[in-house]
Amino acid sequence: MDDSFAAEIQARIDNKTKPVGSLGLLEKVALQLALIQSQDKPQPVDSIAICKPSMLVFAGDHGVAEEGVSIAPSEVTQQMVANFLAGGAAINCFCDINGIQLKVIDCGMLAPIDVLVPEFKSHPNLVEQRLGNGTANFSKQSAMSPEQVALGLEYGAKIAEQTIFAWFKPLDVR
């Protein structure tokens, strides 16, 4: 991300009527949002707008679970994702109450969700970006190949960018 406007945006944040840094993490988030919305612009945006927030849940299974280090067996991942897509989880309540769209990204569960629930194959809130059937057990070998890591980062960036530009309304400098 181009951060050439970071100093100018931070100065605007610091010059608001408040002690410098008094809003803590909120100021860092404001800087990030302004930088995102300033991409490919000749000047930084003078305000930010979030039209509709989104919750992205990236679901996958890790191979080291076979060592007994996880709180639940890997099979629970599919059950949880099925519950998210059916609207029956706590995260669904949180999203519904706050008007947040929930998207579940299958980036490598042990098996695709439609193996458990066939009708979820074409669910509108499911994005399939599978890198494989879980990762390998990293206590025995590399969890992922370098190619899988690169592809996973590419998929994540693509999904984040699509979400940002679907729900954020970048504003031009007035």
pLDDT in tens, 142-165: 999 999 999 999 999 999 888 877
Same domain assignment for residues 33 and 112: no
- Assigned domain for 171 exists: no
Same domain assignment for residues 25 and 66: no
C-alpha 102/C-alpha 54 separation (Å) is 6
What is the extent of the structural domain holding 27? 6-48
Average pLDDT of the chain?
88
Q: Which strands sit side by side in the sheet containing 54-60, from one edge to the other?
A: 54-60, 101-108, 126-128
CA angle 136, 139, 143 (to 5 degrees): 30
- Assigned domain for 114 exists: yes
* Token pair listed for 85: 């897509």
- Assigned domain for 173 exists: no
Please state the domain count of the chain: 2
Same domain assignment for residues 74 and 21: no
Q: Between residues 68 and 165, which one has the greater pLDDT?
A: 68
